[in-house]
Amino acid sequence: MHIRASHFQREEIDILCWNDKGYRDAMYEMYDMVWPQWRDHLIAETRTETLNTVIQSIGDADTFRNHYLRLAHSIVSIVWPHLKSEVTMKVDTPVELILKLVAILRVKIERDLS
């Protein structure tokens, strides 16, 4: 999907993209490539992949951790309606864990597929 109109805001572009099935399928394929267990992260009893462990692999952990959490927070309302049908989760899953899932996926894509 190409969005070229200069009058679109970043959030509007994200909404258009995530509402496109082809885009979502491509994102899920990338997620599966960089982290095959991502769909089970919210119900895992022990999490071997955490935001801290993933970020440790790219350097300045504190700076990057805050950056990726802010990014996740800004897009979770757009992404989560689609992702929640892809993951297994408990009814009382805290929002913080969902934000960390989104942040980890973003870090892994940028690190592994760049």
Q: Note the pLDDT of residue 35.
A: 95
Identify which of 62, 74, 57 has the alpha carbon closest to the alpha carbon of residue 114: 57
Share of the chain above pLDDT 70, in %: 94
Q: How far apart are the C-alpha atoms of 112 and 37, rounded to whole Å?
A: 15
Q: What does the H/E/C string look like for 58-74? A: CCCHHHHHHHHHHHHHH
Supply the Cα-derived Rg of the chain in whole angstroms: 14
**pTM of the full predicted structure?**
0.84
Q: How far apart are the C-alpha atoms of 56 and 62, rounded to whole Å?
A: 9
